Amino acid sequence: MKEQLELLWELQRIDLSLKKIREERERFPREIKKLDERENIEKEKIQKEREKIEALEKERRQKERHLSSEQEKIKRAEGRMFEVKTNKEYQALLSEIEAIKEASSRQEEEILQILEEIDELKKDLSKREKEVTATIEKIEKEKRKIQEKMEQDDGLWKEQKERREALSKQLKSDLFKLYDTLKEKRQGIGVVNVKKETCQGCFVNIPPQMFIEVQKNNSLIRCPNCNRILYWEGDRKSK
């Protein structure tokens, strides 16, 4: 029975390892998805800032074209001054030229303001791009770690499954069936270690005489409280 209990204990540890791998297989894709979302958010922030600069550049070009057009009007108006015949026409033309010049002056001020805003935004964008690049590098590093762990888990899964199959063949069928039943009913744990007269499955103290028998690992003993199979691993730390 001692050999059977040792095999059963190893089987339990393998099943816990497989359970952990299953949980990681479910969790890792969600974590990668969250990292992808974080990365996209960072990229979108930069893209919005670039679009804002592009919009201002477009507005600047439009104003510059309009300013160029207004300046052409001034030249044409000034050219007509030699053609006017009356003082009234001359004054009207002067007023027209002055109005165009005032509008052009406002356009120039607006263009300068836009240029200043673009300059500030470009400085901020340069800083933000460096920050985002660093953040994305960290995110990519986290993703690579997860992907590497997934690959390791795949190899470990195969190895553990093969070992589990080998162990199950060495166990007595009734003992293996009992273990499987308990495992299903007790959150994946059918065999538990005992420490300081305490079942490590339900953390309830077991009778002193029972603890003495458990330490021998010579017979099938089950916890009076949770019904799990008890195993004595000695003074080693449970893995």
108-124 mean pLDDT: 94
Hey, which CATH number is domain 20-170, 3.40.630.10, 1.10.287.1490, 3.30.70.60, 1.10.10.60?
1.10.287.1490
Q: Please give the pLDDT value at position 52.
A: 94
Higher pLDDT, 149 or 82: 149
Residue 185 DSSP code: H
Say if pTM beats, i.e. exceeds, 0.75.
no
Q: Any idea which residue has 């000034």 for tokens?
A: 78
Buried b (16+ CB within 10 A) or exposed e, 126-139: eeeeeebeeebeeb
Q: What is the mean pLDDT of the chain?
A: 91
pLDDT of 238 > 90? The answer is no
pLDDT band at 235 (very low <50, low <70, confident <90, very high): low
38-to-49, 124, 132, 141, 142 alpha-carbon distances in Å: 17, 21, 11, 13, 12
- CA 53 to CA 46: how far, in whole Å? 11
Sign of CA dihedral 132, 138, 141, 146: negative
3-state secondary structure of 191: strand
The per-residue pLDDT for range 145-190, each reduced to its tens digit, is 999 999 999 999 999 999 999 999 999 999 999 999 999 999 999 9
Question: Does residue 83 surpass a pLDDT of 90?
Answer: no
Instruction: Say what the pLDDT of residue 33 is.
Output: 93
Alpha-carbon gap, residue 17 to 28, rounded angstroms: 16
Nearest alpha-carbon partner for 57 in 124, 108, 121, 107 = 121
| Segments making up each domain of the chain, as ranges | 20-170, 175-231
Residue 79: pLDDT over 70: yes
CA dihedral 121, 124, 129, 134 (to 10 degrees): -170
- Looking at residue 239, its pLDDT comes to 38
Distance between CA 210 and CA 224 in Å, rounded?
Answer: 10
Selected residue with higher pLDDT from 89 and 51:
51
Tokens read off for 11: 């089987």
Dihedral sign, Cα of residue 76, residue 78, residue 84, residue 90: positive
- CB pairs under 8 A, 24+ apart, for 180-183? 182/227, 182/228, 182/229, 183/12, 183/15
